[in-house]
Copies of this chain bind each other. A is one copy, B any other.
Amino acid sequence: MNEQFTIGGLARKAGVNLQTVRYYERRGLLLPVGRKESGYRVYGLDALKRLKFIRRAKELGFTLEEIRGLLDLRIEPAQSKDACERVKEKTSIKLKTVEEKLKALTSVRKVLKSLLDACDRRSPTESCPILKAMEKEGVKEDEG
């Protein structure tokens, strides 16, 4: 209960480099609950969860800045309606970009599948099938 870690223990449990933990602290992503007399950082179980979250979110293509934003999207009981609205807005924005990525990735998947098909039929493709197919997919090409 109320398990505590030293930085090394935390890093090991989460499977990340010890330096990375300190790096995340510098970036404002992961703070120790406190320090010992000696100056040693002390972490709780929540830190472990947070650290795991950071790694997963990173794999999903969020930057550390964005992850910090996500972690800040906490709905605390004391928060005002305004705060809730701001949180909601940030979340919506993130959701929208995620949905765009999903759409584009779905197209890519479709293309790859049809390429596999072509392989099975041994029908030669154009010089760069993925490009041709993406054109037909009508995934937006530019915008900014």
A39 interface residue, CB < 8 Å from B?
Answer: no
A140 interface residue, CB < 8 Å from B?
Answer: yes
Assess whether B49 is in contact with A130, with CB atoms less than 8 Å apart: no
A12 interface residue, CB < 8 Å from B?
Answer: no
Chain A interface SS verdict (over half): helix
Q: A60-B108, A142-B15, A142-B52 are in contact. Are A75 and B113 (CB under 8 A)?
A: no
Q: Give me the interface of A with B, judged by CB distance under 8 Å.
A: 15, 46, 49-50, 52-53, 55-57, 59-61, 70-71, 73-77, 79, 81, 84-85, 87-88, 91-92, 94-95, 98-99, 101-102, 104-106, 108-109, 112-113, 115-116, 118-120, 122-131, 134-135, 139-144
Top 7 closest A-B pairs, CB basis? A88-B119, A77-B124, A61-B61, A74-B128, A95-B112, A53-B134, A75-B125
